[in-house]
Structure formats: structure tokens, C-alpha cells
Structure 1
Amino acid sequence: MIIVNSGNELRKGQQIQVYRNIRKGIFSIKDVKTRRVIAYGTDIKLSNIKMQVQKLGRERVRREKWKNIHAFVTGTYEGVDQIDINEGWDLIYYNPYTTETFIKKATGEAIFSAEKAYLSEGKCFVQNE
């Protein structure tokens, strides 16, 4: 499900930046060009992914023990279809208190990019082809 803010547009092929909105319990979607939140969603497909963690934001969270927006998944919007994430998909996570980057949960290795990503229920899964 995607809820597009009034006066905005979200279309396939658009470059977006996604982060988990803790207050709303869903993902916030920013347009890369305008840097504004254009939509909110629960199931999002992306391609050509880059994972970004802003170092100063991470340090501020650790220092103040108060969350701020400083970690994103950026990529090309591919739609909202649900995906079966059984085989070939890796769960990734980021925790500012214990990690400096996004991490593959199964292996513990850092990840900075992927071919495809599926964000659902507050989690991010990636697939490299």
C-alpha cells in the first residue's frame, strides 16, 4: 500500500529515498530530486539500491539517545507488488547503537548496494543477481 501526499506523484522509474518512519510505523518515501517526502508505504520494490548512513546523524543518536533520520535506502521505484521472500533474499538491518552500516543479518557482513530490494513490514530484504 502506498499513500501519495497531495500534489505529489510517485511513478515507476522514479529515484526515491526510503527510511523507516518510527512514529507512523511505515516507510517514508522521499523524491531524490526535491528531497521532500512525497508518499508513505508498507510494501515497496526498488532496484539499483544504495544503502546510506550519515555518520554525523549516527553519532548524534548515540550521543543523545534520541532517534533522528540518518539512514536511507535509495533506488529506483519499481512498484508495490508483494514478493515471496523465501529463497534468494537476504534480510538486512541497521542499528545505530551496534552497527556503522547496513548489515546482512544471516552473515553479519556490511552491505552498501544491491540489485533489488523489497521493503515490507518495517524490514528490508535485498537480492543480488
Structure 2
Amino acid sequence: MLRARLYWNLHKKCWSVQDCKTGRVVRHVTAFTLADAKFVVRPAGQAKVRREGKKNVHAFAVGDASLRNGLAGLDARDVTYNPYVNDTFVYKDTGEPVTEAHVITVWTNTDGKPVVKASNLGHSN
């Protein structure tokens, strides 16, 4: 199974899937699912964004590429991250930090914006 890093590609307006072993981007997708995933924000990259006002890849999800066909589960909640406001990824409805999820499903909506859903059925968070 591929251990992957997944991030929103600002230039291509899609999701980049990076192989954690090689560090190479293996594909660009409009939807993807990770299992047993963690949300990561690198503090130095975040500080640079805040200092310079230019975004860079410093926040992403890491997990196992899943064959679950984009199904995050019935308990899936919207997740967001704003480097100018949040120090971590947060649940959109409560602002509560989220660091891991049983399943993360991402896609690009019809407006070309990223959507992130996290499900914790069978996983504590």
C-alpha cells in the first residue's frame, strides 16, 4: 500500500499525491481517500506564509492510499485550514483542532475549491 502525502496544489487547482518514500508527486487528482491519516502543519512553513503573505506547501495529510472509493463515512465532518487564522487543521463547524482521522476524503467541488472530510468511526480523536 502506498503511504502518501496529500495536499492542495494552488497552481493546478487539484490535489497532489506525493509518495512518502520517494518524495515524488505520483499523480494529480480531483478526489482521493487516505486511511489512518494525520493532518500535518509544519510550523516553519506556516511562519513563512504569515511573514511573507505568500502560500507554500507546509500543510498536508499523510496516510495510506485507500481503496474505499472516497467514502469518508457517515460521521464525516468538514475540515479546513487557513494559515493566517489557524495553527492546525480544524473542524469547520466548531473550530476544534483535528490532527488525525480514520479516513480522510478530499475532492474538488464544482466551483474548483478543495473539500476535505474526516471520519473517525473506529478511531479515537
- How high is the TM-score relative to the length of structure 1? 0.85
Gaps of 5+ in 2: 109-113
Instruction: Check the 8 A contact 1:43/1:81 in 2, yes or no.
Output: no
For the residue of structure 2 that corresponds to 1:35, the secondary structure is: coil
Aligned sequence identity (%): 31
Structure 1 unaligned residues grouped into runs of 5+: 1-12
Q: Which whole-Å CA distance do the structure 2 matches of 1:61 and 1:36 have between them?
A: 23
Deviation at 1:106, TM superposition (A): 1.1
The answer to whether 1:18 aligns with 2:6 is yes
Contact 1:43–1:80 (Cα < 8 Å) also in 2: no
Distance 1:114 1:66, change over 3 A: same
- The CA RMSD over aligned residues, in Å, is 1.5
What is the CA–CA distance in structure 1 between the aligned matches of 2:72 and 2:55, rounded to whole Å?
31
Q: TM-score, normalised by structure 2?
A: 0.87
Q: Quote the residue 2:101 is aligned against.
A: 114
Amino acid of the structure 2 residue aligned with 1:128: N
Residue 81 of structure 1 deviates from its aligned partner by: 2.5
Runs of 4+ in 1 over 2 A off after TM superposition: 79-85
Question: Aligned partners of 2:64, 2:35: CA distance in 1, in Å?
Answer: 5
Q: Distance in 2 between matches of 1:52 and 1:19?
A: 10
- Which has the higher mean CA deviation after the structures are superposed, 73-82 or 28-37? 73-82
